[in-house]
Amino acid sequence: MKLRKLVTFFVAVSVMMFSVVAYGADDSLKIKDIGSFYVGGHEIVLEGLPAYDAVFTEGGPVRKVDPNGSFETGQMYVQYVQLKNAKAKYPVLLWHGGGLTGNTWETKADGNPGWQMFFLKAGHNVYVSDAVERGRSSWSRYPEIYKSEPIFRTKKESWESFRIGPTYDDDPSKRISHPGVLFPAESFDQFMKSAVPRWITNNQATQEAYDQLVQKVGPAVIVVHSQSGAFGARAALNAPDKVKAVVLIEPSGAPDPAKENLALLKNIPHLYIWGDNVDKYPTWPKYYANVARYRDALIENGVPVTWIDLPKIGIKGNSHMLMMDKNSDQIAEIIQKWLESQNLMK
């Protein structure tokens, strides 16, 4: 069985898990360019809405606001850092999960470097995007343009559903973490400053923007987390010539394998990584099983798949926010070794 070999490979990787990554004496990065752009989106015109009064500067005069007119909607913000001498064949695109922004990949909530810097130092050009409706991608008026209301995730829901611990309390000293959890619980409130509202009716616009991003900067390697798991899997189906690998960090969804031509993906290796404590929740085993069903269909169609349950290779305590956990470099190192094994470095 193929999976057994891979487990052996990753046991080997885990043995080196505390090895220091050597970047040379001068650990500065030589950067060719830092920049950003928008993909996707279109113009939309609002008409017939009533005007209203507003004060724009505190103590200033009342001004009439006419909300009617034209706007851009559905666009997605992308920021890139390009190295002078990339060692990877293709750029890495980092796609964050629900209710968050590209900040997910930057400096971690505890102040230590995140995966953006890890993959830059490992020699990849890195593209970090904010999903449609989030962060610098902006958002649009509802219900006139977006067809639902925004959802604001509470601290309690985040603490629990991101598998940091079983019990949340507004008093940090009363919060209960999972034993040995690697999310820096003392930085949880800092982490929650990066949470943004989400809508449930913008999936199509988000997929279109991601697909445009792949067309614009591909061939590329896509690294997805949680909600963007389904977007990344579909992006590969939509552009099998442009997607060179997909790394899925705890994807919360996947396309319906019965409806897709998965043979299109036979040259696109997929790496799945799951953290700890999945079975302690009512919802996570369902997400996991749904994605595993897609994985099985990938394997049946000859797609190279690597599936890692971190606890099974001896790495225990990872939350849903693996890229912010204390061992985030260790997880990134597993991904890096896998990319090397897939011949994706120069």
Residues 251-280 that bind its own copies (CB under 8 A): 253
Cα 91 to Cα 125: distance, rounded to the nearest angstrom:
5
Kindly determine how many residues on this chain lie close enough to bind its own copies according to the rule CB under 8 A. 71
* CB of 60 vs its own copies, minimal distance in Å: 9
84 sits near its own copies (criterion: CB under 8 A): yes
Find the binder of its own copies among 203, 238, 301, 341 (CB under 8 A).
203
91 sits near its own copies (criterion: CB under 8 A): no
Strands 92-95 and 220-225: parallel
Report which residue type is found at 342. Q
* CB of 55 vs its own copies, minimal distance in Å: 6
Helices (H), 59-202: 115-121, 155-161, 188-192
- Residue 61 main-chain phi, psi, to 5 deg: -75, 160
* CB of 300 vs its own copies, minimal distance in Å: 24
Cα 307 to Cα 273: distance, rounded to the nearest angstrom:
6
301 sits near its own copies (criterion: CB under 8 A): no
Stretch that binds its own copies, among 12-20, 56-64, 243-251, 264-272 (CB under 8 A): 56-64
Find the binder of its own copies among 8, 19, 68, 343 (CB under 8 A).
68
195 sits near its own copies (criterion: CB under 8 A): yes
120 sits near its own copies (criterion: CB under 8 A): yes
- Residue 78 main-chain phi, psi, to 5 deg: -135, 130
Residues 11-30 that bind its own copies (CB under 8 A): 26, 28-30
107 sits near its own copies (criterion: CB under 8 A): yes
Q: Which pair of structure tokens corresponds to residue 55?
A: 């004060």
Stretch that binds its own copies, among 6-14, 16-24, 100-108, 309-317 (CB under 8 A): 100-108
CA angle 290, 296, 298 (to 5 degrees): 105
Could you tell me which of 271, 243, 251, 254 has the C-alpha nearest to residue 333? 271
Cα 115 to Cα 183: distance, rounded to the nearest angstrom:
15
* CB of 30 vs its own copies, minimal distance in Å: 5
Q: Which pair of structure tokens corresponds to residue 282?
A: 């009512």
